[in-house]
Amino acid sequence: MVAGACLLVGLGTGIWLGSRGMSWETGPEARAARKFQEFLGIVADEYVHPVAVDSLVEVTFNDVLGRLDPHSVYLPQSDALRLDEELAGAYEGIGMEYRWIRDTVAVVSVRGPARKKGLRPSDRLIAVDGVPVVGWSSDSLVGVLKGPAGSSVQVSVWSPRAKTVRKVTVQRASIAVPSVRAARLDSGRVGYLRIERFGEHTPEEVRSFLRQAKRERLSGVVVDLRGNGGGFLASGVAAADEFLSAGKTVVWTVGRTGPPERTVATAGGSFEKGAVVVLVDGETASAAEIFAAALQDHRRAPLIGKNTFGKGLVQDERVLRDGSRLRLTTAVYLTPKKKNIQRLGKGAAGDGTGGLRPNVELSLDTLYGPHWLGSVRQLEAFDQLTFAWAESDRGRTHEVWVTDERLWQFLAEAGLEEAVASMTEQDVEWIRFALTLEQIRFQRGAQAYLELQLTRDYAVDAALALLKSSRP
């Protein structure tokens, strides 16, 4: 859909950065490399204790890159593969989401192979391939549950309904992980689209949502980019193109040499004329800022929320011989109006303000509820009790809402009874709402959680008010 959109995607090409030609063999790079090799040899041979040279080198890489700008980074192979999986929009495994509850692995949701084999939410994972999981780290558990599609793993699960332990062999498969979440607002008249990251398949997911919005003749769309730290430049550009008419500038990129390069939208966007509002916050960054800036600069959509992060640098990726990656800043991007949004610090060359300023600015508490609510969610009793309540209520059809009795049970077990004395009634109700949300997630899944969450999201309320005021 977008001319030139793949210019700076920067996926690994297998090129070793050492093969740089004659300047690398005889120039200052060669002298520095020999000096570094000599330095490491002395440390490895003569330091009073044995030294893990590989780890030392990897720390050195990021020390060097940190002197260039905040976003150039070296990634060990394991970290790089994890990021690849996230942006690819799929992983290979059994399709089971879990939480650690009182040192027990509790199944929260299942799909794909796990669902087909009869695993259910509230089951307890006891062992994997005959080895008890008690005391395992999350990374260790993920490492054995994931694996190549087509391979198999045996899991032992205890079912609280059947009161029995059974062994199940599950064949791993490719499990899709969507990068967008959708809902309906204002009694179904407005579409809500949360883009969590700009991955490989995000443009297709956005396009599918927008086409459905047109079929339903929705009066407007709210695009939520809060917490979206970016992803692939090409995906952010392609998603923005769905809202812009042909010829509109989406982004400018300025490399080390050559003139600025302009990327423009093409004809055929799925939602070039409908009403749109975009929600942003301080974690909206990179490709998400490209998307937001394109719609804001062309007056296609107002931004609501907080000033965005301010990442105006584009990284290109190279794969080193051992599979580790170098993500190096190779260009600066500018908004359609040629504003550099990079925030102050190394690599900054803009007007110093950094990020995008929303058209309608909201306070942090308006965006997320009280600032201290996140700490309440981290308390051990929070997960333990909401999971237990969900398990107790599972199968019931009544509306889920945390009662006074359960609220005070949580406050007592979390040690918050004295703190409540200094809270307002509204503060206490925020705690009740957070507990209810988590019980809903355990009991009815992520979609039910999202739909309830949106009923008390003041940024969404502000977006709906703006959409209504703009209707003819």
Residue of 224, 241, 297, 383 with catalytic role: 297
For this structure, is 375 an active site residue? no
For this structure, is 311 an active site residue? yes
Q: How far is CA 105 from CA 47, 156, 169, 329, 376, in A?
A: 44, 11, 18, 41, 22
Euclidean distance between the first and the last CA atom of the chain, given in angstroms as a whole number: 31
Task: Please state, in angstroms and rounded to a whole number, the distance separating the CA atoms of residues 325 and 312.
Answer: 21
Tell me how far apart the 2 most distant CA atoms of the chain are, in Å: 78
Task: Please state, in angstroms and rounded to a whole number, the distance separating the CA atoms of residues 125 and 141.
Answer: 10
Centroid of chain to Cα 450: 15
The label of the residue with tokens 């309540």 reads: 389
For this structure, is 337 an active site residue? no
Report which residue type is found at 206: V
Report which residue type is found at 434: A
CB–CB of 368/433 below 8 Å?
no
Report which residue type is found at 54: D
DSSP H or E run through 308: none
CB–CB of 70/80 below 8 Å?
no
Residue of 311, 316, 383, 457 with catalytic role: 311
CB–CB of 306/281 below 8 Å?
yes
Task: Please state, in angstroms and rounded to a whole number, the distance separating the CA atoms of residues 5 and 9.
Answer: 8
3-state secondary structure of 157: strand
Residues recognised as catalytic: 286, 297, 311
